[in-house]
């Protein structure tokens, strides 16, 4: 029974309208039956919760159908996907902001919330304090009801107190064209949003106010005045439509300045100030640190925000104009604009305010010119003075019958592109038939993994057609961000800085889309797969990707990326809009097993590339495969400009897996099984399609010795997990004893050179020897531990299985146990160093009459678990 219900849930997630409602009802009925036969209370509760969720979804689907019928417009798509328990927990946790609770709005949009309570009784007082800035606090005189803020002799309705229609008509309906203005509140983006959306808030069917504020008179098509001053607003943020409860008290001042939005043509109009107050409640107070109007309109209307960067080299003027003009004329787009950091002298010359949002009230195109009618929401502020300006700045008295300053002006679209930084377009979601919402949390990656995608949220998207898909990423607000904004704003005010720099302290996020093989699998780092779209990194809480699927039925991979997000953990919502049902799921690794290890290159372990004799001091790891496997390795560092490299090498020494892995001390081309590209900055990738079972050595390195930094190494494998662990340094836990003198030096002649140094121990000792050339010039040497001399000598251990090898890359013998009695009886223990083409004479000093290029010193040390005595080098003329 549960299996049948889950199948209906799956179909529900890809359906709409009546079909979606049918699947929701069928799944709910099956869960009711399953609950009746459940064997445990926990199971019964789970089925009941599922049933409750599906019934609520069905009611919302019906409400959308009613709205579409009433307005003769396409219905707003509802996400029909049933959330997981984890996602529900994310939505509930995101309900808490600034000590307030903003629970999800679970009932249909056109039904009052159960706790509305606006029918009378004592006047409602919201206990939540609203913060004010120091400038606002200086003139603040208290919170007052609307009747106290607008004297009766300045109201249009002069009837007696309590007369019928006084509240409803005077406070809630505009009798003249709406002309909103911002004064001392630092919320230009909010007021610009209200101005730009005013045509969608009118007294008509389909007004967005009908789903924004309660109480609302659906017959008269306007908000109602609450009898006890309590209002509930439905706002879209933190992944859900949510309830925001306020009272009707507004901040009064001791001057003619206002701390809330006012309508200069309708001085008694109340609902804009209530909407503003509700929005500021969720953003922290009237000392609003700032936002952008695209984000604000998304909260107020639920319309899809897009930020178009007007200073980008990629923008196409004609295409952009045609796209927004068509949508605006059809009532499917709300437009606002934002300026950048304009210099003070430019502000006065141009009549534009820096880092300020403007409303677009109209688009005009007569075939010769393309104009925007733009409104500055500030009271009596600067207005564009450039070519073609049509600003009207008439003196006025609030409440008079004469026209007053509208702060409106016309600007050619070409000038808009030159003088504004961003165009914010909020799109009607009813342009699409389908919607899917996915909610997730993300622990910010370690700094060593910021340049790669190993821990980034990724999703597989498959569409049956090539029709456009829009993907909106929304970051949930949390208290820590407000604290950062206020601290940075205070710092800005002290140093007269830029508000843009303040907002950037919240970090950046982006969306990227890739074509992968296999399709829809995870992307380890950007360079590994073909990027179909890379969105800009924005400091806004919303970013949008629009794309056309390249191949029907073939999945693409969406990657959520970030840069410098300051808090340790975030929650997000991804909303997918489409004309056809999509199949969306978290992307999986192409190799199912993965593990991550962390480390660091220090002054002792940063050995540089293989061209340096210190290469083998780099961190090394023992990698054991129990079966033939496919591997991929991703190496990344916290130093962005540090060139790095990773290699998989054949391991030296014994194949006995019970013994500790020997450290790699020499290297030849045939030792390299797989490696990343030559040194790449910050991160790199290595792939090994098929490796036999066995034990291997992984070496991570930087290009130059001595470059330090932390790193992360992620290993993915199939079909089984790998066993990986650090290989200890040769000297780890051992005594290090060098052969006295500056190093072994061979003279240059055509004969083989052979040097030896005496080794003695006081007790049974386990030891091995390591040799490294003091120059990077190739030198073919062999290092051995021998008992005795002459033809009867015995080789106990030898480097590279007896082969001569490049000493600049290091030589190492296996470990052996030596007994002092055996040493004495067999003619002594000797370190023997041989060179092909060397001389039979040597010097223990680095000084010589021959040139330095003809003489090459080699440092040799013995690593042991007991005290070892070494004597200097001598010639061994045993040919």
Rg (CA), the chain: 37
3-state secondary structure 311-369: CCCCCCHHHHHHHHHHHHHCCCEEEEEECCCCCHHHHHHHCCCCCCEEEEEEEEECCCC
CB atoms within 10 A of CB 147: 16
Domains and CATH numbers, the chain: 2-82 (no CATH), 98-290 (no CATH), 303-430 (3.90.70.10), 432-586 (2.60.120.380), 593-726 (2.60.120.380), 735-875 (2.60.120)
Catalytic annotation, residues: 188, 356, 376
495/672: higher pLDDT: 672
Q: Indicate the pTM of the whole model.
A: 0.84
Q: What is the pLDDT of residue 750?
A: 54
Nearest to 12 by CA among 48, 46, 61: 61
Report how far residue 436's alpha carbon sits from residue 576's, in angstroms, rounded to the nearest whole number.
5
Lowest-pLDDT choice from 80-89, 204-213, 697-706: 204-213
Does the structure show a pLDDT above 90 at 731? Answer: no
pLDDT mean across residues, the chain:
86
For residue range 76-114, list pLDDT tens digits in order.
Answer: 899 989 999 999 999 999 999 999 999 999 888 777 777
Sorted by sequence, the CB contacts under 8 Å of residue 276 that are 6+ apart come out as 185, 187, 190, 191, 194, 260, 261
Using alpha carbons only, what angle is made at residue 864 by residues 858 and 865, rounded to the nearest 5 degrees?
165
Using DSSP, state whether 464 is helix, strand or coil. coil
DSSP 8-class letter at 208: G
Report how far residue 193's alpha carbon sits from residue 506's, in angstroms, rounded to the nearest whole number.
22
For residue range 157-191, list pLDDT tens digits in order.
Answer: 444 334 444 445 678 888 888 899 888 877 889 99
CA distances in angstroms from 159 to 152, 153, 167, 643, listed in the order given: 9, 10, 11, 79
| Backbone φ, ψ for residue 639 (5° rounding) | -105, 105
**Residue carrying the six token digits 């029918």:** 119
Report how far residue 364's alpha carbon sits from residue 385's, in angstroms, rounded to the nearest whole number.
19
Report how far residue 312's alpha carbon sits from residue 318's, in angstroms, rounded to the nearest whole number.
15
Token digits for 819? 């007994």
Answer yes or no: are the C-beta atoms of 625 and 694 closer than 8 Å.
Answer: yes
Using alpha carbons only, what angle is made at residue 471 by residues 467 and 472, rounded to the nearest 5 degrees?
150
Nearest to 288 by CA among 102, 63, 130: 130
Does the structure show a pLDDT above 90 at 630? Answer: yes
Report how far residue 289's alpha carbon sits from residue 521's, in angstroms, rounded to the nearest whole number.
40
**Residues facing residue 512 across a β-bridge:** 534, 559
Cis, peptide link before residue 617, omega less than 30° from 0: no
Report how far residue 847's alpha carbon sits from residue 570's, in angstroms, rounded to the nearest whole number.
64
Measured in whole angstroms, how far is the alpha carbon of residue 51 from the centre of its chain? 34
For the residues 467-474, what does the mean pLDDT come to?
A: 98
For residue range 403-412, list pLDDT tens digits in order.
Answer: 445 789 999 9
Report how far residue 720's alpha carbon sits from residue 324's, in angstroms, rounded to the nearest whole number.
53
Residues of the chain with pLDDT > 90, as a percent, come to 54
Sorted by sequence, the CB contacts under 8 Å of residue 547 that are 6+ apart come out as 468, 469, 471, 513, 532, 533
For residue range 783-813, list pLDDT tens digits in order.
Answer: 999 999 988 899 999 988 888 887 776 788 8
Report how far residue 756's alpha carbon sits from residue 873's, in angstroms, rounded to the nearest whole number.
5
Report how far residue 812's alpha carbon sits from residue 664's, in angstroms, rounded to the nearest whole number.
8
CB atoms within 10 A of CB 351: 18
Cis, peptide link before residue 518, omega less than 30° from 0: yes
Report how far residue 308's alpha carbon sits from residue 333's, in angstroms, rounded to the nearest whole number.
13
| Backbone φ, ψ for residue 373 (5° rounding) | -90, 115
Torsion of CA 530, 533, 535, 536, to 10 degrees: 70
Q: How many residues does the chain have?
A: 879
Report how far residue 651's alpha carbon sits from residue 628's, in angstroms, rounded to the nearest whole number.
16
Lowest-pLDDT choice from 133-147, 156-170, 654-668: 156-170
Report how far residue 305's alpha carbon sits from residue 473's, in angstroms, rounded to the nearest whole number.
10
For the residues 736-743, what does the mean pLDDT come to?
A: 88
Answer yes or no: are the C-beta atoms of 207 and 221 closer than 8 Å.
Answer: yes
Answer yes or no: are the C-beta atoms of 561 and 537 closer than 8 Å.
Answer: yes
Does the structure show a pLDDT above 50 at 44? Answer: yes
**629 pLDDT band (50/70/90 cuts)?**
very high
Answer yes or no: are the C-beta atoms of 478 and 265 closer than 8 Å.
Answer: no
Q: In 118-249, which ranges are E strands?
A: 140-144, 180-181, 213-214, 216-217, 222-223, 230-237, 240-247
Sorted by sequence, the CB contacts under 8 Å of residue 352 that are 6+ apart come out as 339, 342, 346, 382, 384, 419
Report how far residue 378's alpha carbon sits from residue 393's, in angstroms, rounded to the nearest whole number.
13
| Residue 710 burial class via C-beta count within 10 angstroms: exposed 0-12, middle 13-18, buried 19 and up | middle
**399 pLDDT band (50/70/90 cuts)?**
very low
Answer yes or no: are the C-beta atoms of 188 and 376 closer than 8 Å.
Answer: no
Q: What is the pLDDT of residue 68?
A: 67
Q: What is the pLDDT of residue 166?
A: 47
Q: What is the pLDDT of residue 749?
A: 57
Q: What is the pLDDT of residue 110?
A: 75
For the residues 749-771, what does the mean pLDDT come to?
A: 86
Q: What is the pLDDT of residue 153?
A: 46
**726 pLDDT band (50/70/90 cuts)?**
very high
Answer yes or no: are the C-beta atoms of 472 and 546 closer than 8 Å.
Answer: no
Report how far residue 188's alpha carbon sits from residue 306's, in angstroms, rounded to the nearest whole number.
18
CB atoms within 10 A of CB 655: 8
CB atoms within 10 A of CB 127: 6
Token digits for 392? 């009207």
DSSP 8-class letter at 867: -
DSSP calls for 734-785: SEEEEPSSS-EEEEESSSPEEEEEEEEESS-EEEEEEEEESSSS--EEEEEE
Does the structure show a pLDDT above 80 at 324? Answer: yes
**464 pLDDT band (50/70/90 cuts)?**
very high
**398 pLDDT band (50/70/90 cuts)?**
very low
For residue range 230-256, list pLDDT tens digits in order.
Answer: 999 999 999 999 999 999 999 999 998
């Amino acid at each position: 029974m549960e299996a049948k219900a889950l199948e209906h849930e799956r179909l529900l997630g890809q359906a709409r309208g009546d079909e979606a409602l049918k699947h929701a009802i069928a799944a709910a009925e099956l869960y009711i039956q399953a609950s009746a036969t459940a064997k445990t209370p926990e199971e019964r509760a789970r089925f009941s919760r599922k049933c409750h969720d599906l019934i609520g979804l069905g009611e919302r689907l019906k409400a959308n159908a009613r709205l579409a019928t009433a307005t003769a417009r396409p219905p707003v798509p509802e996400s029909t996907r049933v959330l997981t328990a984890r996602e529900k927990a994310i939505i509930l946790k995101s309900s808490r902001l600034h000590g307030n609770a903003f629970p999800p709005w679970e009932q249909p949009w056109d039904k009052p919330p159960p706790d509305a309570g606006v029918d009378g009784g004592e006047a409602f007082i919201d206990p939540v304090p609203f913060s004010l800035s120091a400038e606002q606090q200086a003139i603040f005189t208290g919170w007052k009801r609307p009747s106290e803020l607008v004297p009766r002799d300045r109201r249009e309705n002069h009837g007696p107190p309590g007369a019928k229609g006084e509240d409803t008509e005077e406070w809630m309906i505009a009798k003249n064209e709406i002309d909103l203005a911002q004064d001392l509140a630092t919320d230009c983006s909010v007021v610009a949003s209200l101005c730009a959306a005013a045509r969608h808030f009118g007294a008509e069917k389909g007004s967005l106010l009908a789903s924004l504020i309660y109480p609302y008179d659906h017959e008269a098509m306007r908000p109602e005045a609450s009898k006890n001053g309590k209002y509930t607003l439905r706002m879209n943020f933190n992944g859900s439509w949510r309830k925001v409860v306020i009272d009707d008290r507004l901040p009064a001042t001791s001057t003619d300045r206002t701390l809330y939005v006012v309508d200069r043509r309708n001085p008694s109009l109340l609902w804009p100030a209530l909407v503003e107050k509700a929005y500021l409640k969720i953003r922290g107070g009237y000392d609003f640190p700032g936002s952008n109007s695209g984000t604000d309109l998304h909260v107020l209307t639920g319309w899809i925000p897009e930020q178009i960067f007007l200073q980008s080299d990629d923008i196409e003027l004609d295409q952009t104009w045609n796209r927004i003009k068509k949508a605006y004329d059809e009532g499917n787009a709300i437009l606002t604009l934002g300026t950048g950091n304009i210099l003070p002298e430019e502000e006065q010359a141009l009549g534009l305010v820096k880092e300020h949002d403007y409303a677009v009230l109209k688009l005009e195109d007569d075939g010769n010119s393309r104009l925007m009618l733009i409104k500055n929401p500030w009271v009596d502020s600067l207005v564009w003075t450039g070519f073609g300006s049509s600003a009207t700045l008439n003196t006025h008295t609030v409440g008079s019958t004469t026209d007053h300053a509208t702060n409106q002006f016309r600007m050619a679209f070409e000038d808009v592109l030159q003088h504004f930084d961003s165009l914010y377009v909020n799109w009607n979601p009813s342009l699409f038939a389908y919607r899917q919402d996915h909610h997730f949390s993300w622990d910010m990656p370690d700094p060593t993994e910021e340049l790669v995608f190993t821990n980034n949220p990724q999703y597989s998207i498959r569409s049956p057609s090539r029709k456009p898909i829009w993907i909106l990423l929304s970051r949930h607000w949390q208290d820590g961000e407000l604290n950062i904004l206020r601290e940075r704003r205070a710092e800005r005010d002290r140093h007269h800085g830029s508000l843009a720099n303040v907002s950037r302290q919240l970090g950046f996020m982006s969306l990227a889309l890739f074509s992968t093989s296999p399709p829809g699998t995870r992307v380890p780092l950007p360079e590994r797969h073909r990027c179909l779209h890379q969105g800009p990194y924005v400091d806004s809480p919303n970013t949008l990707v629009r794309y056309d699927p390249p191949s029907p039925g073939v999945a693409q991979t969406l990657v959520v990326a970030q840069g410098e997000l300051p808090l340790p953990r975030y929650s997000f919502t991804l909303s997918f809009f489409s004309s056809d049902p999509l199949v969306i799921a978290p992307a999986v690794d192409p190799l199912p097993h993965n593990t991550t290890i962390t480390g660091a290159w220090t002054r002792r372990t940063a050995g540089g590339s293989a061209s340096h004799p210190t290469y083998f001091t780099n961190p090394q790891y023992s990698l054991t495969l129990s079966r033939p496997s496919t591997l991929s390795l991703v190496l990344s560092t916290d130093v962005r400009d540090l060139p790095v490299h990773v290699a998989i090498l054949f391991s030296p020494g014994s194949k006995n897996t019970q013994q500790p892995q020997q450290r790699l001390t020499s290297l030849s081309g045939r030792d390299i099984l797989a490696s990343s590209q030559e040194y790449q900055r910050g991160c790199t990738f290595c792939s090994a399609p098929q490796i036999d079972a066995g034990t291997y050595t992984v070496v991570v390195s930087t290009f130059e010795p001595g470059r330090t930094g932390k790193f992360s190494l992620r290993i993915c494998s199939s079909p089984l997990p790998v066993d990986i662990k650090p290989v200890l340094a040769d000297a780890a836990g051992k005594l290090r004893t060098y052969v006295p003198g500056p190093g072994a030096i061979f003279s240059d002649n055509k004969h083989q050179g052979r040097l030896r140094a005496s080794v003695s121990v006081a007790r049974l000792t386990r030891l091995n020897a390591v040799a490294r050339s003091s120059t990077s010039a190739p030198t073919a040497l062999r290092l051995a531990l021998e008992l005795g001399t002459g033809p009867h000598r015995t080789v106990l251990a030898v480097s590279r299985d007896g082969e001569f090898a490049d000493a600049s890359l290091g030589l190492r013998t296996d470990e052996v146990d030596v007994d002092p009695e055996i040493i004495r009886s067999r003619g002594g223990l000797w370190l023997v160093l041989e060179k092909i083409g060397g001389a039979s004479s040597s010097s223990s000093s680095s000084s010589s009459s021959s040139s330095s290029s003809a003489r090459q010193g080699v440092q040799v040390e013995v690593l042991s678990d007991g005290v070892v005595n070494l004597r200097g080098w001598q010639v061994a003329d045993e040919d």
